[in-house]
Structure 1
């Protein structure tokens, strides 16, 4: 009700459609709502959330959201945003069984395995989990860059990919400087022949 009190035309304007510049791929964690983290209004950001903000090439939900955001809405930026203290990342670091989610967490375990030397050199579990959170975001941005949706967009227009980590305890966003705009070389094995 406060929205209508502050702006009597708010819902009328909202109903006219959306034209966001951003797609947010974030964690399902209830403490990390995209609009509050970025201080954006409804309609300014298209949002997809899943456990540990993964970009998995077999996830038809994510790919459908990505295709709609890029090809229909024409977003200019895709942000993968993880967060420190992520339960999915922390769960992936152990050998406990959690049920069906273990299949999903396998993706993060692969990131851990690929970066094991660096991660095992960090003795503090919390700091190691924070670094795995960062490495996971970097890997998910790479996964985005490998999709046919993003590669096709890069042939005709600018589209920027970003990797961020949100600090729940500080409210600050760390930009991991993993910006992709299509000008970087991607390993040819991941390029699609269209």
Structure 2
């Protein structure tokens, strides 16, 4: 597989890179993204492609379940850098359909780390389960998962606002936070929050 990646890079260099060389030369001078994108690490989603965003537009943090935890130094440093040093204008939390992380909330995983990480999304599952009837059909289960995926986006926005520097930036209207949802079946992004 690694050879295929290098071959793909060669095609990229010979086509898109060369066709957009002036833009890439500008990017060497430094990054000035307008958006911090918090998305899922799901391999089926390529953020730049689904948004048709040119290089340099998005500062991206991806993890399992598009989680914005309050106790993770990696995430907190990305968030702080984006707001304080890059001066992003918008933060996007993007959930998606058929999310394996959300589905894993229903499983009794014996892994060492995954269940701990997913605890940051468990409240979304609890909320949805408190206001819908237990699913009896495959269609109802699919709808339940979709509702949890969308509620998880809302929950992660709550986590973001718990960071003092994020709260301050939103209060001062320096940044706006959006929750969006990507449907793998249609390729459509829709706004939740």
TM-score between the two structures when normalised by the length of structure 2: 0.85
Shift of 1:43: 0.4
Distance 1:162 1:8, change over 3 A: closer
The match for 1:35 is: 48
Distance 1:103 1:120, change over 3 A: farther
**Is the CA contact 2:97–2:149 (under 8 Å) kept in the aligned structure 1?**
yes
The match for 2:30 is: 17
**Is the CA contact 1:93–1:109 (under 8 Å) kept in the aligned structure 2?**
no
The match for 2:93 is: 80
**Is the CA contact 2:128–2:147 (under 8 Å) kept in the aligned structure 1?**
no
Q: Deviations over 1:93-126 (max 9, x none)?
A: 2334344201111222232123322244544211
**2:68 is equivalent to residue 55 of structure 1:** yes
CA distance in 2, matches of 1:95, 1:8: 50
The match for 2:191 is: 175
Distance 1:175 1:122, change over 3 A: farther
Q: Which residue of the other structure, out of 151, 165, 176, is the alignment partner of 1:160? A: 176
Q: Which residue of the other structure, out of 59, 66, 84, is the alignment partner of 1:71? A: 84
Distance 1:172 1:147, change over 3 A: same
Root mean square deviation of aligned Cα: 1.6
**Is the CA contact 1:119–1:131 (under 8 Å) kept in the aligned structure 2?**
no
Q: Unmatched 5+ residue regions in structure 1? A: 179-194
Q: Unmatched 5+ residue regions in structure 2? A: 1-12
Shift of 1:78: 0.1
Query: How many aligned positions are there?
Result: 177
Q: Deviations over 1:38-88 (max 9, x none)?
A: 110110010001100011100111110110000111001000001010000
**Is the CA contact 1:55–1:144 (under 8 Å) kept in the aligned structure 2?**
yes
